[in-house]
């Protein structure tokens, strides 16, 4: 609450979003816009993870379950039922949220915590992946192709900047939502459950209800990222939608950026994917050919280094050494 | 008659595969039982061991059944060093951090292998790879029978080590009460690393037993890791007998559901068992403490 407009409250969110919004006027290259659009999709997925794990302390290893529900939800609604994608979008988000509620109810009711919860979420994501890969309804191993009909009314944009701004508006909404939640009563309950669930329960916090609310929101947000992914690439299969890659990136971005902070997922996604591109380019230049997986090796090293030396992520380090960041703790 | 034959052969094959699953799960459950951590890098370490067998065979012409005597001590040292030099200092003793650090280790191993060996699936060519032996009316793959017998031998040795040796006593003491063990002069950090080393060494043995009949690619560990977790959860976290029984059960379930429902759903059966056990009976079938 203390500190100026720049270091607390909604000010920094508005400034960051405004800066990101004018970015496409600086770059016109399609590859840059594609990359930035992808960064925003990962950010959105990571924001969902951060709400549940960063604020609520429930570490999920299987956010692909929600991402995939969003992606398959919006794709199948169009291909199988002929729905308009704008109409399918809220339905797919609701599907992700519902998946979150069910998954949360099953595992929290069984009092699964810590590593057990991580394993159960991972197993759910794998079950969905195998089912989507085997079922004829989801297109099996061939995946789902969304027919190309470029029209804003059809959620397909001729101008790549339109998609970027749309994704940015999702990310901006979740930034505001996270900030609001962090200061709400619900946010306080959530942090109390993270810090000490038994103590929170003893003080009258309904831990099950709080965790269920968090995983529902989390599932919906990450499903929205899946919807954007499907509409951006117009093709999904089981390994893209339910694969481990998105579970890992949704968890890496907040941890590297700053877990349990409003800006952590965004900062982490920019840094992570930026570093990934740099690594890939460097090794291609060094060895004269693409080296698959080398960017992920760097991510793994970064994850261990962050856990070991920067538990509050890059933003935490910045806050320690740059006075301007020190004021507010969003 | 023919039906019964097919059923019996699926059952026998399930038991044989299940034994190797059990060996993988044995390492995992030992680490969990003593250190109380879930080693997420277990699957990736198995992949690493399988590639080590592959390289030993391709580059040095070593038969997997000979390589096992070199790789097992090598992986013990690797596990010891990994636990002592990376996992402990990086995680600051926090449960969630350990999970993240071992996840980081698994990402590094898996993708380093991908960068070096690419995503091609490889196998080694040994003269006995396809040989079979006749047991009653059944034809069983010889390498799988060897793996089955070797697993039982390793489990027996492990039990002997834990029950009889001084190190085994120290391991059991640390598992039960680490503060008390430390007060008795046991070097807990050393015992933790030794246990981690033994668990990792089990993977080297499993890899040598698997390679004559299995294929390896950088992602192969993923297929095993959830199977191993399922076995450990089914048998009760930290229970060696449970891991052995759980491995055999899972092997049979996979084989029979593969027979009746097709290959892809055989995997589903394993995950469903995993979820049902964790959600409804987290102490495992045999009721060890969770």
Query: Rounded to a whole number, what is the distance in Å from the CA of A309 to chain B's nearest CA?
Result: 8
Q: Is A296 on the interface with B (CB under 8 A)?
A: yes
Q: Can you list the positions of beta strands (E) in chain A? A: 144-145, 235-236
CA distance A252 to A268: 7
Which of A110, A291, A293 is opposite residue B280, by nearest beta carbon? A110
A217-234 pLDDT per residue, tens: 999 999 999 999 999 999
Measured between beta carbons, which residues in chain A are less than 8 angstroms from residue B114? 292-293, 296
Query: Which of the pair, B105 or B137, is modelled with greater confidence?
Result: B105
pLDDT of residue B289: 44
First-to-final CA distance of chain A: 9
Confidence of residue B222 (pLDDT cuts 50, 70, 90): confident
Q: How many CB pairs under 8 A join A and B?
A: 120
pLDDT of residue B116: 92
Q: What is the pLDDT averaged over residues B228-257? A: 86
Alpha-carbon distances of B234 from A117, A123, B24, B29, B249, rounded to whole Å: 16, 14, 14, 11, 9
Characterize B174-198 residue by residue with b for buried, 16 or more Cβ atoms within 10 angstroms of its Cβ, and e for exposed: bbeebeebeeeebeeeebbbbbbbb
pLDDT over 90 percentage in chain A = 69
pLDDT over 70 percentage in chain B = 95
Q: What residues of chain A, 233 to 272, have a C-beta less than 8 Å from chain B?
A: 244, 248, 251, 255
- Dihedral angle at the C-alpha atoms of A313, A315, A316, A322, nearest 10 degrees? 150
Asked if pLDDT for residue A6 goes beyond 70, the answer is no
DSSP B110-166: HHHHHHHH-S--B----TTTT-EEEETTEEEEHHHHHHHHHHHHHHHHHHHHHHHSH
CA distance B106 to A280: 20
Going by C-alpha positions, the residue among B251, B260, B249, B265 that lies closest to residue B6 is B260
Query: Rounded to a whole number, what is the distance in Å from the CA of B278 to chain A's nearest CA?
Result: 8
Q: What is the pLDDT averaged over residues A212-216? A: 97
Asked if pLDDT for residue B18 goes beyond 80, the answer is yes
Query: Rounded to a whole number, what is the distance in Å from the CA of A107 to chain B's nearest CA?
Result: 6
φ/ψ of A62, rounded to 5, equals -135, 45
Q: What is the pLDDT averaged over residues A16-43? A: 89
Which of A120, A248, A291 is opposite residue B115, by nearest beta carbon? A291
Question: Does B114 sit within 8 Å of A292, measured CB to CB?
Answer: yes
Joined together, the tokens standing for residue A221 give 């947000």
Asked if pLDDT for residue B2 goes beyond 60, the answer is no
Going by C-alpha positions, the residue among A328, A313, A296 that lies closest to residue A50 is A313
Which pTM was predicted?
A: 0.89
Chain-centroid distance, C-alpha A236: 17
pLDDT of residue A326: 58
Confidence of residue B274 (pLDDT cuts 50, 70, 90): confident
User: Domains in chain A, start-ordered, CATH in brackets?
Assistant: 12-257 (1.10.3470)
pLDDT of residue A3: 44
Going by C-alpha positions, the residue among B228, B67, B209, B214 that lies closest to residue B147 is B209
Asked if pLDDT for residue B286 goes beyond 80, the answer is no
A81-135 pLDDT per residue, tens: 999 999 999 999 999 999 999 999 999 988 888 888 988 899 899 889 989 998 8
CB contact at 8 A, A272 and A252: yes
pLDDT over 70 percentage in chain A = 95
Question: Does A130 sit within 8 Å of B267, measured CB to CB?
Answer: yes
pLDDT over 90 percentage in chain B = 46
SS3 A235: strand
The mean of the pLDDT values for chain B is 87
Q: What is the pLDDT averaged over residues B68-90? A: 95
The residues of B whose Cβ lies within 8 A of any Cβ of A are 37-38, 86, 89-92, 95-97, 99-101, 103-108, 110-115, 118-119, 218, 222, 226, 229, 233, 264-265, 267-268, 271-272, 274-275, 278-280, 282
The mean of the pLDDT values for chain A is 90
pLDDT of residue B91: 87
pLDDT of residue B266: 67
Question: Does B264 sit within 8 Å of A134, measured CB to CB?
Answer: yes
pLDDT of residue B225: 82
Interface test with B, best of A197, A256, A279, A307 (most B CBs within 10 A): A307
pLDDT of residue B247: 92
Q: Which residue has the tokens 């500190």?
A: A3
Measured between beta carbons, which residues in chain A are less than 8 angstroms from residue B28? none
Which of A116, A130, A296 is opposite residue B282, by nearest beta carbon? A116
CB contact at 8 A, B145 and B250: no
Residues 6+ apart with CB under 8 A from A319: A312, A325, A326, A329
Query: Rounded to a whole number, what is the distance in Å from the CA of B289 to chain A's nearest CA?
Result: 14
DSSP state for residue B131 in the 8-state scheme: -
Check: complex ipTM more than 0.95: no
Asked if pLDDT for residue A80 goes beyond 80, the answer is yes
């Amino acid at each position: 609450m203390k500190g100026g407009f720049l270091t607390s409250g909604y000010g920094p969110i508005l400034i960051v979003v405004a800066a990101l919004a004018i970015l496409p006027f600086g770059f016109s290259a399609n590859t840059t816009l594609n990359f930035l659009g992808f960064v925003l999709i990962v950010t959105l997925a990571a924001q969902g993870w951060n709400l549940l794990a960063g604020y609520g302390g429930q570490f999920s290893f299987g956010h692909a379950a929600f991402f995939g529900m969003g992606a398959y939800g919006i794709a199948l609604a169009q291909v199988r039922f002929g729905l308009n994608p704008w109409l399918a979008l809220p339905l797919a988000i609701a599907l992700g949220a519902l998946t979150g509620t069910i998954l949360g109810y099953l595992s929290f009711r069984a009092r699964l915590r810590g590593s057990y919860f991580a394993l159960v979420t991972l197993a759910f994501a794998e079950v969905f992946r195998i089912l989507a890969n085997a079922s004829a309804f989801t297109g099996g191993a061939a995946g789902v192709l969304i027919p190309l009909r470029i029209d804003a009314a059809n959620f397909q944009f001729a101008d790549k900047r339109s998609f970027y701004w749309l994704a940015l508006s999702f990310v901006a909404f979740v930034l505001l939502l996270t900030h609001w939640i962090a200061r709400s009563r619900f946010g306080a309950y959530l942090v109390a459950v993270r810090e000490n669930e038994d103590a929170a329960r003893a003080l009258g916090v309904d831990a099950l209800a709080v965790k269920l609310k968090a995983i529902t929101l989390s599932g919906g947000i990450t499903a929205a990222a899946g919807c954007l992914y499907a509409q951006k690439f117009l093709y999904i299969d089981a390994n893209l939608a339910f694969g481990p890659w998105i579970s890992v990136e949704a968890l890496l971005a907040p941890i590297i950026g700053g877990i349990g902070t409003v800006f952590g997922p965004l900062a982490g996604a920019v840094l992570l994917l930026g570093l990934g591109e740099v690594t890939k380019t460097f090794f291609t230049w060094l060895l004269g050919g693409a080296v698959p997986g080398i960017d992920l090796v760097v991510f793994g090293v970064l994850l261990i280094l962050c856990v070991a030396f920067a538990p509050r992520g890059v933003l935490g380090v910045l806050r320690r050494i740059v006075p301007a960041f020190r004021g507010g703790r969003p | 008659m023919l039906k019964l034959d097919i059923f019996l052969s699926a059952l026998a094959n399930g038991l044989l595969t299940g034994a190797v699953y059990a060996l993988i799960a044995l390492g995992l459950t030992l680490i969990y039982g003593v250190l109380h951590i879930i080693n997420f890098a277990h699957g990736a370490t198995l992949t690493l061991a399988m590639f080590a067998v592959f390289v030993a065979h391709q580059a040095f012409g070593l038969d997997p059944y000979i390589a096992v005597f070199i790789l097992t001590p090598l992986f013990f040292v690797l596990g010891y060093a990994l636990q002592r030099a990376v996992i402990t200092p990086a995680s600051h003793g926090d449960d969630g951090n350990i999970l993240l650090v071992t996840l980081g280790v698994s990402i590094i191993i898996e993708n380093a292998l991908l960068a070096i060996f690419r995503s091609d699936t490889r196998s080694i060519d040994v003269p006995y790879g396809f040989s079979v032996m006749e047991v009653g009316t059944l034809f069983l793959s010889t390498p799988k029978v060897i793996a089955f017998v070797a697993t039982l031998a390793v489990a027996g040795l492990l039990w002997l080590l834990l029950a009889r040796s001084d190190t085994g006593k120290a391991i059991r003491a640390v598992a039960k009460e680490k503060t008390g063990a430390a007060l008795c002069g046991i070097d807990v950090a050393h015992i933790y690393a030794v246990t981690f080393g033994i668990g990792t060494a089990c993977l080297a043995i499993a890899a040598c037993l698997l390679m004559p009949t299995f294929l390896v690619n950088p992602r192969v560990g993923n297929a095993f890791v959830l199977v191993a977790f399922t076995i450990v959860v089914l048998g009760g976290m930290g229970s060696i007998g449970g891991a052995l029984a759980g491995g055999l059960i899972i092997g049979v379930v996979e084989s029979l559901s593969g027979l009746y429902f097709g290959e892809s759903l055989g995997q589903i059966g394993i995950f469903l068992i995993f979820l049902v056990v964790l959600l409804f009976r987290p102490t495992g079938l045999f009721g060890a403490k969770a």
